[in-house]
Amino acid sequence: EVQLQASGGGLVQAGESLRLSCATSGFNFDHAAIGWFRQVPGKEREGFSCISVGDHVTYYAESVKGRFTVSADSPKNMVYLQMNSLKPEDTAVYHCAKVSCWGWGTTLNGIEYDNWGQGTQVTVSS
């Protein structure tokens, strides 16, 4: 059974950092791509980053590029999202997912999830 679980959210002030973790199981991690999404009630879900685990290729949406960094730890089947310079508009529930994604350079052009994980709340106060 494919499982993904995001953790590490919390309440921070604008400008501060958080590191989210995504624990995965039930699939071949090294052959997968893992993406990050965020959801705010009443707004469209945003897929903003992904990593191809095998070759560590990463893509980012413009909304997070330069502030967020995604990485993978194959022995642990874990993916991490380092979020720096957080802004109030980053407030959302963050989910990791097993995805298909594509881009150009480091720019994310498209992302589709195959399996969705439980999210973690990130709140950034001004």
pLDDT tens per residue, range 17-29: 999 999 999 999 9
pLDDT of residue 104: 94
pLDDT of residue 116: 84
pLDDT of residue 117: 83
Confidence of residue 83 (pLDDT cuts 50, 70, 90): very high
pLDDT tens per residue, range 38-55: 999 999 999 999 999 999
**Which residue from 41, 15, 22 is spatially nearest to 119, judged by alpha carbons?**
22
Tell me the CB-side half-sphere exposure of residue 104, using CA atoms within 13 A. 1
Task: Tokens for 93, please give them.
Answer: 């529930």
What is the average pLDDT score of the chain?
96
Strands in 18-25's sheet, in edge-to-edge order, are: 3-7, 18-25, 78-83, 68-73
Separation of alpha carbons 41 and 39, rounded Å: 7
